Chain A
Amino acid sequence: MATAVAATPRDAKLYKPEVPPDWCPGCGDYGVLTVLQRACGELGIPNEQLMVISGIGCSSNLPGFFKSYGMHSLHGRSLPVATGAKMANHEMTVIACGGDGDGYGIGQGHFIHAMRRNVNLTYIVMDNEIYGLTTGQTSPTSETGMKTKSTPHGNPEGQLNPIALALAAGCGFVARGFSGDINHLKSLYTQAIQYPGFALIDVFSPCVTFNKQNTFGWFKERVYKLEDKGHDAANWNAAMDRSKEWGAQIPIGLFYKNPNPKPSIDAADPALQGQGLAKAKKLGLAAEQRKKLIEEYV
């Protein structure tokens, strides 16, 4: 991983492009972006070594407001795109991001498999329990009973628990942050980026325009930090127990970090043992390789 060497910290401003964010004033995603800029600065990752890849949604606009290489891909597809990018150049630091609809709704199949596959990348989900960009419909993480544009009589469906899902899918780094607690969130980011495998950070990132239920105030009243309660992040069962808490008390922080992580898929792939594949100067088969392959059919 590019960040393995202790690099000199850099100014967070270096990750700010000319184009300012276009989110609604007060949107939770501002915090998510600012903290990411600070975390990358703290880790001293050169801009060109960062690949930030999103799907579609308000939250997925983030790469456009972050100075690095990036892709603003299709709704729900940030993870396969990011996986492909990592395979093609495993020396880059790859960060995938998007919304709850993007990752847990339309992209949910990729979400589970990316964790099972254990690609070494960081996945930040700006979870506002609503579809923001499409002006406020119910999302997989919307609470049951919640009134939205698509469920004016109350959401009849169950609420997805991404933390439990991630744990069950074999994710080695599972955390939850809150856009209203910047310093806490930054430490989760730096740990996640340094973790040698798939790392999920679900971030409560309130939509101030369309979600009148799960507001900054609502979260502030409820969230508590796992580390304050002596939670052991190396204990998977304890993490699973904590993941079920929702209501008056909602945990944030590091739920689980595999103390003995297996090599990630990119680290284990025999084709990815040297420099990034994209850096190869000469393409195609060597004459000897080609001869040997043809000989198989004779």
Chain B
Amino acid sequence: MENEIMVGIGGAAGDGGASTADNLALTSARQGLHVYVYTSYQSLIRGGHSWIRLRLSTQMVNNVSDQVSAMIALNQDSMDRHLQELAPGGLCIYNGDKVKPGKAPEGVQLCPLPVFELAGKDALPIMQNTVGLGALTGLLGLEFASLSSVFEHTFKKKPQVVKANVDAAKAGYDFAVKTYKKISNPLGRTGAKLAMVHGNNMIALGAANAGCKVYCAYPMSPASGVLHWMGAHGPSLGICVRQVEDEIGVANMTIGAAQMGVRAMCATSGGGFALMTEAIGMASIMEIPVVMINVMRGGPSTGLPTKQEQGDLNQAIGASQGDFQRIIMAPASIADCYTSMEEAFNLAEKFQMPVLYLSDLLMSEGHMTLETSFLDREFKIDRGEMVFEDDGKGQSYYRYKDTPSGVSPRAIPGVPNHLYVSATDEHDEDGVTISDVYTDPVVRKRVVDKRERKMQGVLAALPKPKLEGPADADTTIVTYGSTWGVVSEAVERLNKEGIKCNHLSVKFLVPFQEKEVTEILKGKKNIIVVEMNKSGQFARHLRAETGIAATGHVRKYDGEPFEPKHVVNGIQECLKGQKLVETGSVEPGWRTPHPPGPGVLSTSSTH
């Protein structure tokens, strides 16, 4: 695309690559450019290698794209790893005093900076990043004023630090513009007012906007960002935030809070989610609305704590004993992480059941810009049938009253004359257990039917799935969750290349909109499922729910997210008759074989 540029920033953890990337992203966002950022990092606090890719564009973008054209190599390792990946017309910025250049690919400009001379001999080592960022700003044709305003904003209270950074950046900017060629397609400015966010703070902000009042968590990558946001903002927003001793405690505490009538939420990743599963059944049989987030990462077990996978669908589907009612939903993008919180809490409360919300590392830790006007909106709050005050009808109140919809009005504890005890044991309409002294197969059947009836109500309340792209195409790509962004782009490219296809992204996994999905897929010649796991969990689910077996499968499970090229190639292979394409990221620079090479210091890990 003409109106965009892909940047890579490579360095060791602790080199300041992340803040350099943040500053570049903010600089771009301040001039109305959309940004999407994905960081491939290792589970290390210091050392190792982290490769941050930023896509800057005049339009909203939902994936990190295929190839980098401009890069800052913060250390030798990054130079050695990534120089060969740069696209023609690209450039590589590095500290000429420290880093030796490799052989640049055809059409790639090497841009060494005399950092000592530009920043001064006594400058802190971190200033090399600022000089580099200044140079990059100049060569990409971004406005220097945007960059300096970012420093002013970041170091508000320290004018000296602002000045040191602005001076160093300006030196880099001037030197680069004078010495090297600018890229051929500078991006300019748009009128958009943009916020730079990541999925975890969208989940947290969305929860707060939806009225979440109690948040519980135990730290676990890649979900901890939600806890950090809540920890920082909870006290001033009137949200009670507890870090609990383990995820069993987290789930139970969240459920205890929700029972009292607050909107309550917790978040974790697969391992923590496994510990929560007994409690999910409790929320289900007690009919307590809770929102439980699983930010998926590479599994099984500890797996890949800092890598991407959609591997916990099976776990979510089987996440408790017996036939337990729950909603399983997966947002499709970072923006959707925000708005889906509105839906999640409303569904949970209207139907009085747990909502299992599947995010993943790609969305939760991926950064992107969103229009501030998109974020600044009041959420609709629908709490369903609740009793907040003594309505004089207490005599005939049954907490688990068998109603046509299966939903029983929920009196919150504290209301006079509506007393009840909720039990994890099976219970009758009055909440009295029928598991011990009182046993009654007829009542058991009736209350199971009552709870299950709610699922019909949920189905009727869900928004209908929508097909994207040309409706008359006989090839449909089916996805769920975060693969939406990359697949949308791949589908667009394929259509441009004359391969007609469309895209169905499924948001609600349970209950499954069997009728609507079947209607959409009926008569399609090619149905190709693209998902990020080895065994095809989503394809199996689709088949179990609809009887529709996909004709082709594109899968990735190497820890790095799909890029459009993987999806495009995979779909093309499937259309040529291949049933299963297992694709991967094969860039040599992304691999770190053992034993650790020079500069790879493992001091502590993040998971």
Most buried by B among A49, A68, A80: A80
Do B193 and A74 have beta carbons less than 8 Å apart? no
Do A297 and B196 have beta carbons less than 8 Å apart? yes
Contact with B along A270-285 (1 / 0, CB 8 A): 1110101111100111
A234 → chain B closest CB, angstroms: 29
Known: A53-B256, A72-B421, A271-B238. A80 touches B249 (CB 8 A): yes
Report chain A residues within 8 Å CB of B432: 19, 64
Q: Which among B259-267, B356-364, B482-490 touches the partner chain?
A: B259-267
Do B195 and A284 have beta carbons less than 8 Å apart? no
Do B239 and A271 have beta carbons less than 8 Å apart? yes
Do A80 and B237 have beta carbons less than 8 Å apart? no
Do B254 and A72 have beta carbons less than 8 Å apart? no
Do A88 and B419 have beta carbons less than 8 Å apart? no
Known: A72-B423, A83-B242, A270-B235. A278 touches B260 (CB 8 A): yes
Do A271 and B235 have beta carbons less than 8 Å apart? yes
With A and B bound together, what is the CA distance between A64 and B423 in angstroms? 9
Known: A69-B419, A113-B245. A22 touches B436 (CB 8 A): yes
Most buried by B among A64, A81, A82, A291: A81
Whether A100 sits at the interface, judged by CB under 8 Å, is no
Do B261 and A88 have beta carbons less than 8 Å apart? yes
Q: How large is the interface on A (under 10, 10 to 19, 20 to 34, 35 or more residues)?
A: 35 or more
Do B379 and A298 have beta carbons less than 8 Å apart? no
Report chain A residues within 8 Å CB of B241: 271
Beta-carbon nearest neighbor of A85 in chain B: B256
Do A56 and B424 have beta carbons less than 8 Å apart? yes
Known: A88-B257, A88-B262, A284-B211. A71 touches B233 (CB 8 A): no
With A and B bound together, what is the CA distance between A238 and B552 in angstroms? 73
With A and B bound together, what is the CA distance between A226 and B178 in angstroms? 87
Report chain A residues within 8 Å CB of B423: 64, 71-72
Do B194 and A298 have beta carbons less than 8 Å apart? yes
A294 → chain B closest CB, angstroms: 5
Report chain A residues within 8 Å CB of B421: 52, 63-64, 69-72
Do A70 and B415 have beta carbons less than 8 Å apart? no
Report chain B residues within 8 Å CB of A71: 256, 259, 286, 421-423
Report chain A residues within 8 Å CB of B424: 56, 72-74
Do A72 and B240 have beta carbons less than 8 Å apart? no
Q: Which among B157-165, B370-378, B472-480, B568-576 touches the partner chain?
A: B370-378
Report chain A residues within 8 Å CB of B127: none
Beta-carbon nearest neighbor of A280 in chain B: B213
With A and B bound together, what is the CA distance between A68 and B416 in angstroms? 10
With A and B bound together, what is the CA distance between A46 and B414 in angstroms? 9
Beta-carbon nearest neighbor of A19 in chain B: B432
With A and B bound together, what is the CA distance between A228 and B369 in angstroms? 71
Whether B460 sits at the interface, judged by CB under 8 Å, is no
With A and B bound together, what is the CA distance between A113 and B295 in angstroms? 26
Report chain A residues within 8 Å CB of B238: 271, 274, 277, 280
Whether A184 sits at the interface, judged by CB under 8 Å, is no
B422 → chain A closest CB, angstroms: 5
With A and B bound together, what is the CA distance between A64 and B254 in angstroms? 22
Do A297 and B197 have beta carbons less than 8 Å apart? yes
With A and B bound together, what is the CA distance between A70 and B372 in angstroms? 44
Do A83 and B253 have beta carbons less than 8 Å apart? yes
Whether A153 sits at the interface, judged by CB under 8 Å, is no
Most buried by A among B205, B245, B264: B245
Report chain A residues within 8 Å CB of B29: 298
Known: A69-B414, A71-B286, A294-B376. A285 touches B253 (CB 8 A): no
Do A85 and B419 have beta carbons less than 8 Å apart? no
With A and B bound together, what is the CA distance between A279 and B433 in angstroms? 29
Do B234 and A271 have beta carbons less than 8 Å apart? yes
Do A84 and B415 have beta carbons less than 8 Å apart? no
Whether A254 sits at the interface, judged by CB under 8 Å, is no
Whether B252 sits at the interface, judged by CB under 8 Å, is yes
Whether B216 sits at the interface, judged by CB under 8 Å, is yes
Whether A203 sits at the interface, judged by CB under 8 Å, is no
Contact with A along B195-231 (1 / 0, CB 8 A): 1110001000100111101101000000000000000
Report chain A residues within 8 Å CB of B257: 84-85, 87-88
Known: A48-B413, A84-B264, A88-B260. A284 touches B253 (CB 8 A): no
A168 → chain B closest CB, angstroms: 16
With A and B bound together, what is the CA distance between A53 and B423 in angstroms? 10
Do B262 and A277 have beta carbons less than 8 Å apart? yes
Report chain B residues within 8 Å CB of A46: 416
Do B416 and A80 have beta carbons less than 8 Å apart? no
The residues in A between 38 and 64 inclusive whose CB is less than 8 angstroms from any CB of B are 46-49, 51-53, 56, 61, 63-64
Contact with B along A258-298 (1 / 0, CB 8 A): 00000000000111101011111001110101110110011
Beta-carbon nearest neighbor of A83 in chain B: B253
A87 → chain B closest CB, angstroms: 5
Which listed residue, A276, A284, A291, A294, touches B414 by the CB 8 Å rule?
A: A276
Do A293 and B208 have beta carbons less than 8 Å apart? yes
Beta-carbon nearest neighbor of B281 in chain A: A74
With A and B bound together, what is the CA distance between A23 and B375 in angstroms? 56
Most buried by A among B201, B261, B379: B261
A290 → chain B closest CB, angstroms: 6
Known: A85-B260, A110-B245. A48 touches B414 (CB 8 A): yes
Chain A residues in the interface with B (C-beta under 8 A)? 19, 22, 46-49, 51-53, 56, 61, 63-64, 67-74, 77, 80-85, 87-89, 91-92, 109-110, 112-113, 269-272, 274, 276-280, 283-285, 287, 289-291, 293-294, 297-298
Apart from A274-B238, A278-B412: 16 A-B pairs, beta carbons within 8 A: A22-B437, A70-B420, A72-B423, A73-B424, A77-B252, A84-B256, A84-B259, A87-B256, A89-B261, A92-B260, A92-B413, A271-B240, A279-B388, A280-B238, A283-B263, A285-B209
**29 A–B contacts, CB within 8 A, in A order:** A48-B418, A51-B413, A64-B421, A64-B423, A69-B421, A74-B424, A77-B282, A81-B253, A83-B253, A84-B255, A87-B214, A87-B256, A88-B213, A88-B258, A109-B245, A109-B246, A110-B245, A113-B245, A271-B234, A271-B237, A278-B412, A279-B414, A283-B381, A284-B208, A284-B211, A285-B209, A294-B375, A297-B196, A298-B29
